[in-house]
Structures are given as C-alpha cells and as structure tokens.
A and B are shown apart, each in its own frame.
Chain A
Amino acid sequence: MTLPEGWEMVVGLEVHTELRTATKMFCGCANVFGAEANTNVCPVCLGLPGSLPVLNERAVSMAMAIGMALHATIAPSTFHRKNYFYPDMPKDFQISQYDLPINSGGYLDLPDGSRVRIERAHLEEDTGKSTHLGASGRIHGADRSLVDYNRSGVPLVEIVSGPDIRSAAQARLYASELRAVLIATGASDGRMEEGSMRIDANVSVRRNGEPFGTRCEIKNLNSLRSLQRAIEFEAQRQVELLEGGGVVRQETRHWDETVGATSTMRVKEEAEDYRYFREPDLVDLAPDAAWQQRVADELGPMPAERRAAVVGLLGEPSDAQRDAIDVVIDLGLERFVHATHAAGGDVAVALARVANELAAAEDVSKLTEAAFVATIALESSGQLSATQAKTVLADLIASGGEPREVAAARGFEQLSADSLGDIVAALIAANPDEWSRFRDGDDKLAQFFVGLVMRETKGRANGKAVIAELHARR
C-alpha cells in the first residue's frame, strides 16, 4: 500500500526490550518468562513500604552493550520516578531515566542502505501483567482484573529512534534489524511473541516538503507484521482525514489485529502528566572507562558484518538463502557454515542444514563442528541421502558422536557408486520409452528416474548423484 501522490509519512519507533538478566532490575527476584503467577515477587517489586531498590549491575552492562552496538554515547545518567496510577505498577510510579539517559545519540544502518538515527536508549523497569475479566455470570465483582507481578521490575531498555522512517516497510526493516542487533549483543532474546520486545510507533503524515504533521502514537505492537500493517493503516487514515478537511488530533491509539484498524485509546492532552522527579532511593550511574571496556571486550561483531561474511561464502545467495542466513545469524550458528567452508565442503548444503535441522533444536552443544562438517561431506558425496543426513544430524544433536558411527548404528549403508550405476542401468532397461524421451532432451524425465531409484533404494540414494549418473549415460 502506498500513500496518495504528494504525501509522505514520518515514523519514529520506540522499542522496549526486556534484558536477559538472571534477576530483576532492582531486586533479586528471578527474571523468567512463564513462571506461575506471583511466584517471583518480593517487597521491592511489589512496592511494599520501606523497601529499597538496588540496581542490577548486569542490566547496566547490557544497556551499555546495546548503546555501543548502536554507536551511541554512554554518559553519566540518573533515575527518575514516572508517576501514574495503574494496578500493574504497585509503587504507583515506574523507575525510568528521563533527562539523562545512559545512552544517547547513535544510529542503526539497515540492510537496504538507509540509516535511522537513535535518539536515546535508556534503562527502565517493566510493569506487572494484568488480565481483564469480562463481565461474567458471577454475582459479585464479575468485572475485574487479575494482576501478576512476576514481570514487575524486569529490566528494560527503551530504544527511541529519530523521526527518520518514511515507510511501513522501512519501519519493519528497522525493527527486524534492531531485533537482530539486540540478540547479537546478548541483551535480549528478541522473542516478540513472548512480549520480550514490544514496539510503539509514532506516525504522522505531511505533504511533500511541509513541516512534520501532528503525530499519533500506536501502542504495543507485538509482531513485525502488526507493526507494518498498523503503520500503513494509520498513515492512510491521517491522509484521508486531512484531505477531507479534518485535523489529526494528537492521541494514543490502539491497533486491533483482527479488525486491521487503529482506534483512539486516549487523547494526549488529558493525560500524560507524569510529574517526573529524581528517584531519591538511587544514586547516579556513571560507569567508568574500565567497566565500559569490559562490556566492549565482550561485544562480538554485529549481524550486518556476520551476514556479509556468510553471503561472501555463497557468492550470490537466493532469497531463500538470504532468509536462511538471517535465521542462522539470529541463532548465532554461523560457525558451522564457516567450518564447512574451511574444510572445503558444500556451503549451500551446510547453510540449509543449519537453518533447518540445527535451528529447530533447543540446544546444539553436543554437536561438534567437526561432526557437522563430516556429515555434510557424507551427504555431498552421496554416501548419505538428504533424509539420512538429517536423521544423522538429529542423532548427533541429541547425543553427540561421530557421523559414520551414527550412520552405521542407524543401518544407513553406504550406497556405492557401482551399485547405484547398476540400479540406474536396470531401470533404464525396464523403461525404454521414458529413457529415449530423456535422451531426446526432455529433462523432466530425470525426476521420473530419480523417483524410481529412490523407491528401489528405499531413499538411500542421493538425488544429485542419480541425476549425474543419468546424464553420464545420456
């Protein structure tokens, strides 16, 4: 969808990411997703009187890692109380950073070559989670909300982009690249479906060359698809409103995924008075050079660089291969592809196996690079079929070991080149019409013979080896 001629959208994103610390931001309660409700709570994250927050050192390190990855400036910072009343925030304020954030300035380069400025990336705490019960048949209190404080106080970094994004597709690209960067820093697991990365979008429109229009903020977009659709809808809505002689009201809007539309949540002027003031229970944060250096030393290369390294092994990757590379980089598994390349193996096959079989595994620590490389070699040489190679990898991932032994234990006998030749010869003799059509240049018949060979060998043959055999005999 594109806006009518002469119009342009202006978008800035606020991305909240939960940090992968062991504990919460200001207390020692475990930071885990999916625990039983209210089992990871204490006086601090319940906001009980007299409790005092103590800052998590690792959350600070992770925030700095994010800042460094985004080329931001790390500066002395302070904490503020953002005051408002909502039951999922038992203290009645959220501890956040206000005028002095830990990271400011910076940028993110997108795969399409565009650059989006980063205004700031600051630390704050997450709120609890409320579930709203609709009116039911109960006699009393049917209309109420249930609150789980396990998430209350989980460390967050909020990354605020500049108003540099000009299309919904670019917004999506920014969010997906940022997600990859966050994962690469080790600060986030990037799981949008679990709410560990959430996005608010500020959207306005203007006629080309005019100053920025009034913006609306769309809250809590929790998938890349929702982000793109919501921005497309909202920009279109604003253009139609303005072209019809109306005005855009500054407000917060809610995206309804099923309806595919945004709607007013609250009007800006009547809320948004948070009365920020310094959090008196926390002192200033000013990480020294040594602390910053420790964080910098642990920071590996970022996704763009790692992606380019894998692309370099493939030359001209297809779209499917590019998607596979994204998966492999997200999961940090590209060492298997590089090991295959170093051993002179088939990089394309290796990439496919890593992006599928390895990516599907919870844990690949038992699979050594050498065993992986050897499995790919067995598959490429036709000693294992693709199906067999996948099974061998699954066994290696589950229990470790050496691929030849695993294949032998599975009864995957090696199909020698001689016996494959014999089988192909017999099948050619049994199907003279198809063979002559193939000889006359009908390449589609190759698949017919591959199918016969597979049936004959119960899937043990290598498809590519069969095709090579057919061509050798043509």
Chain B
Amino acid sequence: MSGLTRTEVAHVARLARLRLSDEELDLFTVQLARILDHAADMQSLDLAGVVATAHPYDLINVVREDVVRPSLDRDVVLAAAPDAEDGCFAVPRIMGEEL
C-alpha cells in the first residue's frame, strides 16, 4: 500500500484549486492510492537493461526560426476576456507578491 493519506489528497486538491466534498476525498484517496500502488509495483521491477523513455516520439531539437509572426488583434483578444480595462485583462486584485 502506498500509505496515501486523506490529508495529502486534500493538499493536492487545494494546490489544483479543486473543491472536494468529504465523500469525494474518501473516494479519491482510495483511487489515487491504487494508482500509486501500481507505480510502486513497476518500481520494484528490474529494468536495468531498459532505456528510459523521455517521450513517446523519438524526436529531439524541434525548433523554429526566430522570425516574428503576426500577433492577434487586441480587440479580438480582449473581447474574450471576462473584463478589460486600458487595453489590459482586468482580474480581481491579487494580494501579496509580484512575480
């Protein structure tokens, strides 16, 4: 068993801004624990000879040239915003830090 606790699930839900009922918390604790158990099963396998898979596609260095392409029209962009002011997206005031 992974030993996943209800508190940990509540914490992860809060980080993801999900509001869960008590019933959902119970349910997801059981379900997520099963997923973690499955991962633990795989961890226990001897995979020394298997190359790590970084990505399902066997591609590296997919890049584009540094050339400017047209941006969107601002009126169109702001029309999709819940609220706008002075050419900016207006959102509820963020308290605390500036990032």
- B-contacting residues of A (Cβ < 8 Å)? 21-23, 27-30, 36-43, 46, 54-60, 76, 78, 83, 85-89, 127, 130-133, 141, 143-149, 219-220, 252, 254, 265-266, 273, 275, 278, 280, 282-288
Contact = CB atoms under 8 A, between A and B. Distances in A.
A428 to B, nearest CB: 67
B94 to A, nearest CB: 5
Given A133-B93, A145-B94, A149-B89, A83 B59 contact: no
Given A46-B77, A78-B54, A275-B15, A141 B68 contact: no
Given A54-B63, A87-B89, A283 B57 contact: yes
A57 B94 contact: no
B72 to A, nearest CB: 5
Contact of A39 (B11, B71, B83, B90): B71
B97 A265 contact: yes
B17 A85 contact: yes
A194 B35 CA distance: 47
Contacts of A30: 68, 71
B88 A23 contact: no
Contact of A21 (B54, B66, B97): B66
A283 B66 contact: no
Interface of B: 11-12, 15-17, 54-55, 57, 59-72, 74, 77-78, 83, 85-94, 96-99
A144 B66 contact: no
Contacts of A254: 97
A56 B98 contact: no
A220 B98 contact: yes
A82 to B, nearest CB: 11
A78 B69 CA distance: 26
Contacts of A273: 11, 15
Contacts of B93: 132-133, 143-145
Contacts of B64: 28, 54-57
A220 B61 CA distance: 32
A127 B99 contact: yes
A350 to B, nearest CB: 36
A147 B91 contact: yes
A288 B91 CA distance: 44
Contacts of A147: 88-91
Given A86-B99, A130-B94, A57 B77 contact: no
Contacts of B63: 54-57, 60
Given A55-B63, A220-B98, A42 B55 contact: no
Contacts of B15: 83, 273, 275
Contacts of A29: 68-69, 71
17 contacts: A38-B77, A46-B77, A76-B60, A86-B94, A88-B99, A127-B99, A132-B93, A132-B98, A133-B93, A144-B83, A147-B89, A149-B89, A219-B98, A220-B98, A283-B55, A284-B55, A285-B61
